Structure 1
Amino acid sequence: MSEQLLTVRDLRKSFRVPGAGKKRLGALDGINLDLARGETLGLVGESGCGKSTLARTLMMLERPDSGTVRFDGIDPYTLRGKELLTFRRRVQMVFQDPYASLNARMSAGEIIAEPWRTHRSLYANRRDRDMRVRGLLDLVGLGAKAADKYPQEFSGGQRQRIGIARALALNPDVIICDEPVSALDLSVQAQVLNLLNELQQQLQISYIFISHDLSVVRHVADRVAVMYLGRIVEHGGTEPVFDRANHPYTAALMSAAPKLDAAQRRERILLRGEVPSPLNPPSGCRFRTRCWRATDVCATAPPPAAVDPLAAGHSAECYHPMQSEDANAVTMSA
Structure 2
Amino acid sequence: MSDAPLLEVRGLTKVYPVRHGGRRKELRALDGIDLDLRRGETLGLVGESGCGKSTLARTLMMLERADAGQIRFDGVDPLSLRGTDLLAFRRRVQMVFQDPFASLNARMTAGEIVSEPWRTHRTLYRTSRDRAARVAELLELVGLRPGDAGKYPQEFSGGQRQRLGIARALALDPDVIICDEPVSALDLSVQAQVLNLLNDLQQQLGVAYLFISHDLSVVRHVADRVVVMYLGRIVEEGGTEPTFERPLHPYTGALLSAAPSLDHTRRRERIILSGEIPSPLNPPSGCRFRTRCWKATDECATTVPPIADDAADGAHTAECFHPLRHQRRHQRAGDGSKSGSDRRM
Corresponding residue of 1:226: 228
Match of 1:331 among 313, 316, 329: 329
Q: State the Cα distance separating 1:301 from its structure 2 match.
A: 1.1
**1:157-216 CA-partner distances (Å, limit 9, x unpaired):** 000000000000011111000000011111110110000000001111000000011000
Q: Using the alignment, how far apart are the partners of 2:31 and 2:201 within structure 1?
A: 33
Contact 1:43 1:211 in 2 (8 A): yes
Match of 1:283 in 2: 285
Which residue, out of 242, 251, 262, partners 1:240? Answer: 242
Select the residue among 83, 86, 106 that pairs with 1:84: 86
Spell out, residue by residue over 1:264-295, the C-alpha distance to the aligned partner (whole angstroms, 9 max, x if none). 22111111101111111111000000000000
C-alpha contact (below 8 Å) 1:10/1:29 kept by paired residues: yes
Amino acid of the residue matched to residue 16 of structure 2?
F
- In the alignment, the residues of structure 1 paired with residue 94 and residue 240 of structure 2 have an alpha-carbon distance, to the nearest angstrom, of 24
- Give the conservation status (yes or no) of the 8 Å contact 1:237–1:314: yes
Q: TM-score, normalised by structure 1?
A: 0.97
Kept after mapping to 2: 8 A contact 1:309/1:331: no
2-structure distance, mates of 1:331, 1:279 = 30
Give the Cα separation in 1 of the matches to 2:219 and 2:266: 17
Q: Distance in 2 between matches of 1:87 and 1:295?
A: 46
- 2:268 counterpart of 1:266: yes
Residue matched to 2:343: none
Range with greater deviation from structure 2 (307-316 or 244-253): 307-316
- Local SS of the residue matching 1:121: coil
Residue 147 of structure 1 corresponds to which residue in structure 2?
149
Number of residue equivalences:
330
Q: Deviations over 1:304-334 (max 9, x none)?
A: 110112123100000000012xxxx433343
Q: Provide the C-alpha distance between the structure 1 equivalents of 2:145 and 2:184, rounded to a whole number of angstroms.
A: 24
Deviations, residues 200-256 of structure 1 (Å, cap 9, x unaligned): 011110000000110000000000000000000000000010000000000000000
- SS in structure 2 of the partner of residue 319 of structure 1: coil
Aligned to 1:3: 4
Distance in 2 between residues matched to 1:264 and 1:140, nearest whole Å: 37
Match of residue 300 from structure 2: 298
State the alpha-carbon separation in 1 of the partners of residues 164 and 148 from structure 2: 9
- Aligned counterpart for 1:158 among listed residues 153, 157, 160: 160
Please tell me whether the aligned partners of residues 39 and 207 of structure 2 are also in contact (alpha carbons under 8 angstroms).
Answer: yes
The AA in structure 1 aligned to 2:214 is: H
Runs of 4+ displaced beyond 4 Å = none
SS in 2 for 1:200: helix
Can you give the 5+ residue segments of structure 1 that lack an aligned partner in the other structure?
none
Between 116-125 and 222-231, report the one with greater CA deviation: 116-125
Query: Does residue 257 of structure 1 match 2:266?
Result: no
Residue type of the alignment partner of 1:159: R
Q: Percent identity?
A: 72
Give 2:15's aligned residue: 14
Which residue of structure 2 lines up, in the alignment, with residue 55 of structure 1? Answer: 57
- RMSD over aligned CA atoms reads 1.0
Paired residues of 2:306 and 2:329 also in contact (CA < 8 A): no
- Structure 2: any 5+ residue segments left out of the alignment? 333-345
Of 166, 183, 186, the residue aligned with 2:185 is 183
Contact in 2 for aligned 1:222/1:238 (Cα 8 Å): yes
Work out whether residues 27 and 50 of structure 1, in 8 Å CA contact, stay in contact via their aligned partners in 2: yes
For 1:215 and 1:330, the matched residues in 2 are separated by: 28
1:73-108 CA deviation, whole Å, 9 max, x = no partner? 100011111111111111100000101111111110
